[in-house]
Chain A
Amino acid sequence: MPLPAVQFDRITCTFAGSRGSYTAVKDVELAIGDGQFVSVVGPTGCGKSTLLNVTAGLLRPSSGTVRIFGEPLSGINRKAGYMFQAEALMPWRSALANVTAGLEFRGVAPDEAKRRGEEWLARVGLAGFGDRYPHQMSGGMRKRASLAQMLILDPQILLMDEPFSALDIQTRQLMENELLELWSANRKSVIFITHDLEEAISLSDRVVVLSAGPGTHPIGEFAIDLPRPRDVAEIRLTPRFIELHDRIWHSMKEEVLKGYAQTKNRVSA
């Protein structure tokens, strides 16, 4: 059996705060197979991003190990690309210079980097926009640039933290389809964090449901057996999708309400 791309082994993350420590995730056991598209859904503030930061090597877990293709991770995960929820482009670099940044850091020759950068800009639909600065682009264009910036380095693992949550629904579905197209051309392992169950089902091979925090851990796993290639807008209307949505939502509902109650208490406290 091939080694999983990412394996969480009893991962626990505890943060020290001014009002005592807070355990965001507790004893998480999860494996993501090579080439698998896995979505992680869960109520707001449940520590989804924490898991992603641990996988990226940006955050060291309090206990437990992450194995990347069997190797315990220490330091930054060089096999992973990360697409953040917030704006992550360097505002002082043009779109092209942002896309080629990773190549530049790796010492790729400028001509070669430029050629590959232009190629990727075209692939994400930004041909001719290479000289734009981030503030001159729309939210959707910036996300495309971020996607190209990550994919140009050809990482084996893609970490995506609600990458499209700031986009309007039409742009979002467009981007989701493009992501699927790029992914199916060259299958990588993907951990896709989202709070949108429909997005999770329409994109993934597997959906993992997390419990409400504190001490978040997976409470359910669902294989998504919808046929590929998929169109994210159309697949939402199929009976199988609705059935899966129903089942997953049922298992999530309680946790969502729990998470909501906690946020409410935290605000009113």
Chain B
Amino acid sequence: MRRYLWVWQWVLLAAIFGLWQLLTQPGLLPPMFWDNPDRAAFFFGEPVKIFRVIWDWFTDGTIYKHLWITLLETVLAFVIGSAIGLAMGLWLGLSPMASALFDPYITALNAMPRVVLAPIFMVWFGLGIWSKVALGVTLVFFIVFFNVYQGVKEVSPVVLNNTVMLGANRRQLLRHVYLPSATSWVFSSLHVSVGMAFVGAVVGEYLGSANGVGYLIQQAEGAFDINTVFAGILVLTAFALVLDFAVAKAEKRLLVWRPTQSETEQL
């Protein structure tokens, strides 16, 4: 069973799509719930037609431009949000005064549902990619910020004292102890923050844009083209999986110094 797990996983996927097709294809089953045989297909789409849309997108190449825009927005939101989160986390983590001053504001901003900022960003940055990047940044920032803040607070005092005794000055401590410790926390939240950057990009596109996969979905929805909506969702899901895979690869390379639970390499 274990060895053929991936086979079973694909079988399950095929079964889900098969059942979906069976239940939605007009006229295939006698009507049970709705009188109109086209109703089910109208609400839930038909896998065959969904894959047809996806096939067309990739064969005529229209999807690549939108995927590229969404990817660009995700990466920019992640990089900018992480950089600001890292800088602020280090600053507030190392300065008790600043931390005490900003604490209620950070808490308030984090509690605020930040998706409502999307229209404001639209006004500020226009319908191009930057309004989506800004939305992603507000989502990524807090994840990275809290992780870095925690990371700075939890630097081992022994490692810190040892580094001081080895002659590190304040700047070297920041560079060689606080920063590596904080970045390790950033990387441990990589999956979540990349996911959030992606959410920011797609939601931003959905709320108003001329490009991106979120825009495709929004357009199809306007025309009640449920098959295209589902096609967009499937493409986004696959895209998110690829992104997550890439993040896992990067994480493995960057955190080589960190012990993993399964690892028993010792001498």
Contacts and interface: CB of A to CB of B under 8 A. Distances in A.
Interface in B41-80: none
Interface in A129-177: 129, 133-138, 141, 149, 153
Nearest to A93: B257
A88 B266 contact: no
Interface stretch (A64-72, A75-83, A218-226, A235-243): A75-83
A105 B267 contact: no
A81 B165 contact: yes
Contact of B161 (A58, A89, A141): A58
A92 B161 contact: no
A90 B266 contact: no
A88 B258 contact: no
B267 A141 contact: yes
Interface residues of B, number: 26
A102 B267 contact: no
Contacts of B181: 92
A106 B158 contact: no
Contact of A105 (B167, B184, B258, B266): B167
B211 interface: no
Nearest to B162: A88
Interface string A220-257: 00000000000000000000000000000000000000
A38 interface: no
A136 B256 CA distance: 10
Contact of A92 (B165, B257, B263): B257
B257 A88 contact: no
Contacts of B259: 135
Contacts of B257: 91-94, 133-135
A101 interface: yes
Interface stretch (B168-176, B215-223, B229-237): B168-176
Contacts of B162: 82, 84, 88-89, 149
Interface of B: 156, 158-159, 161-169, 172, 176-177, 180-181, 184, 256-259, 263, 265-267
Interface pairs A-B: 3 shortest CB-CB: A88-B162, A135-B259, A102-B166
